[in-house]
Structure formats: structure tokens, C-alpha cells
């Protein structure tokens, strides 16, 4: 290998410093693939005495190169990555490896073949550490940076991958403890504000008025003293005798920095509890948006609609 060949490989790998991953650091900076690969490698190095029968140097080598294919495709979260994505990444990586100096190319092809087959203890350890590092990083990142599905995924992910090792299974259990503690300690405080509403500043949430009477409930999802989502639940008495009241939900809003994490849905769930407590037989809401993601959000929350503007959720049969 010439010095120029060596530099060309390093210039190529430098792309991973600018290739971002789904997760953030503890200080909210989006992490790079290179940073992930570095810590997976460090995790392997630190396990030399825990796995004396495994060639840790080979595991470190696997960890260092396992994401080089993302120089071409970028990082795609595991829950979005398709077989087509994997085939594209593998094809481009294989083409690049074939063009390297023979001694380097042969070494990398042997590594990738072993990593892919998952037949050796070294390959299984590398794969386990790759997944565990992602979980550890999520536990270190602010919980509002998680995707909505990660609240459940992070509880179950990689248990099957570590099953071959008691030590790794114990590590995965400790990571789960951290995950559960994080969810419990950092989850937003969903509550109803009925008193001192004039002290709540909600203009950044799009609220146009302050709700003050007893039939109006301002529901907020609050984190670190900041309102991140809210809705108003109004109990409408039915003027027809012997017919139960119904609830009308309005001003369903979420701060732009926190959308897509299920916080507005938690406010709607709380509104339903209020409606059930007030013996309402249905909940209603209107939306001026016909965007598919908006309609899907309300349908997922249990509301039905015929004209895609008015949504109804039945709580029980009216008398």
C-alpha cells in the first residue's frame, strides 16, 4: 500500500465524522457515526479480561469498520431501514473495498464476511456491542429527543442479540434499569391547570385566551418548567333533559421542538379522563387541517370522522 492509497482511505473514512446518527449526546448535539464507532470499539477493548477466549483485537477491528458503508448512504435508524437500504449499502461498500490495495481489500472482505455470517464469538460480540452502544447513548440523551416508538423499543431491543452471553445479558438488564429510571424521572408532567391560570404564559403555544371557568380545563404537558403541549377540554352541558353532557376539545398544540413524541396524545388522554369523570357520552374536536399526518394523529388517538374536519370519540351511549 502506498502512502497515497493510505491517505485516500482515511479521506474516505472522514465522511463518517460528518455523517449524523439518529441519537444525540447528553448535551443535545447530534452524534456522528464516527463517534458511535469509536465508543463501540472502546467497549470491546474494555472487555478483554471478561472474554479471555475471544480475540478482542479482531472484535475491535470489526467495531472500527462496521459502519463504513454509511459513508455512501448515511445512517438510517434500524426501525426505518429496509432490505433495499441494506442491499444498497452493501453493494456500494463491496465495490469500494474491491478497489482498495489487495492486502487491505482481502483483510476487510474477511472481516465483513465474518461479521455478516455471525458464526463466530467475535462477530456475535461485535454485533451485541453495536446495539448496546445505541441504547446507552439513548439513556444519556435528553428523553425529548427520542422517537415516539423508542419508549417501547428501548425496553426490548437487543435482548436476543446478547442471549449467547450471561455477562452481556446482565449488562443489557442494567441498561434496561437505566432506561426505566429515565422514562420515570424525565417524562413530562401532564396535569390540569385550574387555578391561577392568569399566571400561565401560553402565547408561544398558540393559545389565544386563558381559560378560567370551572367547565373549562387547560391541560398542559410540562417539562423543566416549560409548556411543551396543551389542549383545552370544555364540558358542554346538554340542554335536553336526561341527556348527559359532552366534551369539546380545542387548542391542541405542541411546541415545534417537541412534536412527534406523543406529548399531545398524552394531553388528549388526560382530556378523556376528565370527560369520563364528568359522565360525558362523547368527545368532539374540530381541525382546520386536512394534512394526512394530522388526520392520522386524531384517528390514532381514537377519534373517528366522516368529513375529516370534525372528529368524534364515543365514550358511551347517551340517554
Domain co-membership, 130 together with 201: no
Instruction: Tell me whether strands 226-236 and 246-254 are parallel, antiparallel or unpaired.
Output: antiparallel
Residue 200 covered by a domain: yes
Per-residue pLDDT of the chain (319 residues; tens, 9 = 90+): 899 999 999 999 999 999 999 889 998 899 999 999 999 999 999 999 999 999 999 999 999 999 999 898 888 877 777 888 888 888 898 889 999 999 999 999 999 999 999 999 999 999 999 999 999 999 999 887 887 778 888 999 999 999 999 999 999 999 999 999 998 887 665 555 443 333 333 333 333 333 444 567 888 887 776 778 888 888 877 665 567 888 888 778 887 778 778 888 888 888 888 888 888 888 887 765 556 666 677 777 777 765 555 566 676 544 4
Domain co-membership, 29 together with 157: yes
Spatial contact of 19 and 70, defined as CB atoms under 8 Å apart: yes
Domain co-membership, 162 together with 33: yes
Domain co-membership, 30 together with 174: yes
pLDDT at residue number 241: 59
Looking up residue 271, the CATH number of its domain turns out to be 3.40.630.30
* C-alpha–C-alpha distance, residues 192 and 219, integer Å: 4
pLDDT at residue number 134: 96
**Domain membership of residue 143 as a residue range:** 3-186
CB atoms within 10 A of CB 224: 10
Residue 209 covered by a domain: yes
Tally DSSP H helices, then E strands, for the chain. Answer: 12, 8
pLDDT at residue number 198: 37
With DSSP H G I counted as helix, E B as strand and the rest as coil, what are the percentages for the chain, rounded to 5? Answer: 50, 15, 35
Measure Cα distances from 58 to 138, 229, 305 in Å.
27, 49, 58
Residue 114 covered by a domain: yes
Could you tell me the three cell numbers for 94? Answer: 463491496
pLDDT at residue number 288: 57
Q: Which of 186, 208, 230 delimits the end of a domain?
A: 186
Helix (H) or strand (E) holding 103: helix 102-117
* C-alpha–C-alpha distance, residues 316 and 319, integer Å: 9
pLDDT at residue number 83: 84
pLDDT at residue number 307: 53
Residue 285 covered by a domain: yes
Domain co-membership, 61 together with 196: no
Residue 42 covered by a domain: yes
Region at 82 (left for phi over 0; alpha for psi -120 to 50; beta for the rest): beta
Q: Which of 186, 216, 236 delimits the end of a domain?
A: 186
Looking up residue 142, the CATH number of its domain turns out to be 1.10.3210.10
Query: What are the two backbone dihedrals, phi and then psi, of residue 273, each rounded to the nearest 5 degrees?
Result: -60, -40
Q: Which of 119, 152, 186 delimits the end of a domain?
A: 186
Could you tell me the three cell numbers for 255? Answer: 411546541
Region at 305 (left for phi over 0; alpha for psi -120 to 50; beta for the rest): beta
Domain co-membership, 174 together with 113: yes
Strands (E), the chain: 20-24, 30-32, 189-193, 216-223, 226-236, 246-254, 282-286, 310-314
Domain co-membership, 94 together with 166: yes
pLDDT at residue number 133: 97
Residue 319 covered by a domain: no
* C-alpha–C-alpha distance, residues 67 and 71, integer Å: 8
36: helix, strand or coil: helix
* C-alpha–C-alpha distance, residues 15 and 37, integer Å: 13
pLDDT at residue number 276: 86
Domain co-membership, 221 together with 139: no
Domain co-membership, 180 together with 197: no
Spatial contact of 262 and 148, defined as CB atoms under 8 Å apart: yes
Tell the burial category of 55 from Cβ atoms under 10 Å away from its Cβ (0-12, 13-18, 19+).
middle
Domain co-membership, 229 together with 197: yes
Domain co-membership, 205 together with 168: no
> Of 69, 33, 32, 56, which is closest to residue 126 (Cα–Cα)?
56
Q: Structural domain tally of the chain?
A: 2
- Residue bearing cell 425496553: 155
Query: What are the two backbone dihedrals, phi and then psi, of residue 27, each rounded to the nearest 5 degrees?
Result: -100, 20
Domain co-membership, 196 together with 293: yes
Cβ neighbours of residue 261 closer than 8 Å, sequence gap 6 or more:
144, 146, 147, 148
Say which DSSP state 304 is in. B
Instruction: Write b or e for each residue in 241-269: b if 16 or more Cβ atoms lie within 10 A of its Cβ, otherwise e.
Output: eeebbbbbbbbbbbbeebeebbbbbbbbe
Amino acid at each position: 500500500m502506498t502512502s497515497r492509497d493510505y491517505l485516500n482511505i482515511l479521506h474516505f473514512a472522514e465522511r463518517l465524522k460528518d455523517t449524523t446518527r439518529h441519537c444525540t449526546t447528553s448535551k443535545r448535539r447530534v452524534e456522528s457515526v464516527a463517534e458511535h464507532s469509536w465508543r463501540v470499539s472502546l467497549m470491546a477493548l474494555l472487555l478483554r479480561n471478561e472474554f479471555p477466549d475471544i480475540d478482542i483485537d479482531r472484535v475491535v477491528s470489526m467495531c472500527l469498520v462496521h459502519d463504513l458503508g454509511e459513508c455512501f448512504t448515511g445512517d438510517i435508524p434500524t426501525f426505518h431501514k429496509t432490505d433495499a437500504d441494506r442491499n444498497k449499502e452493501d453493494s456500494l461498500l463491496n465495490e469500494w473495498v474491491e478497489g482498495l490495495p489487495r492486502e487491505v481489500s482481502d483483510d476487510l472482505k474477511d472481516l465483513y464476511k465474518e461479521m455478516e455470517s455471525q458464526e463466530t464469538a467475535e462477530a456475535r460480540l461485535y454485533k451485541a456491542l453495536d446495539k448496546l452502544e445505541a441504547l446507552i447513548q439513548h439513556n444519556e440523551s435528553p428523553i425529548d429527543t427520542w422517537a415516539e416508538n423508542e419508549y417501547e423499543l428501548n425496553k426490548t431491543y437487543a435482548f436476543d442479540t446478547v442471549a449467547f452471553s450471561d455477562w452481556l445479558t446482565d449488562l443489557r438488564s442494567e441498561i434496561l434499569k437505566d432506561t426505566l429510571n429515565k422514562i420515570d424521572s424525565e417524562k413530562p408532567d401532564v396535569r390540569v391547570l385550574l387555578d391561577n391560570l392568569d399566571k400561565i404564559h401560553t402565547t408561544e403555544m398558540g393559545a389565544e385566551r386563558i381559560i378560567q371557568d370551572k367547565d373549562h380545563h387547560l391541560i398542559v404537558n410540562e417539562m423543566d418548567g416549560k409548556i411543551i403541549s396543551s389542549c383545552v377540554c370544555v364540558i358542554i352541558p346538554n340542554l335536553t333533559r336526561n341527556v348527559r353532557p359532552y366534551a369539546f376539545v380545542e387548542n391542541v398544540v405542541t411546541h415545534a421542538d417537541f412534536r412527534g413524541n406523543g406529548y399531545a396524545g398524552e394531553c388528549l388522554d388526560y382530556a378523556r379522563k376528565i370527560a369520563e369523570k364528568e359522565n360525558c357520552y362523547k368527545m368532539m374536536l374540530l381541525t382546520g387541517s386536512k394534512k394526512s399526518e394530522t388526520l392520522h394523529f386524531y384517528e390514532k388517538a381514537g377519534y373517528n370522522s366522516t368529513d375529516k374536519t370534525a372528529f368524534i370519540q364515543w365514550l358511551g351511549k347517551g340517554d
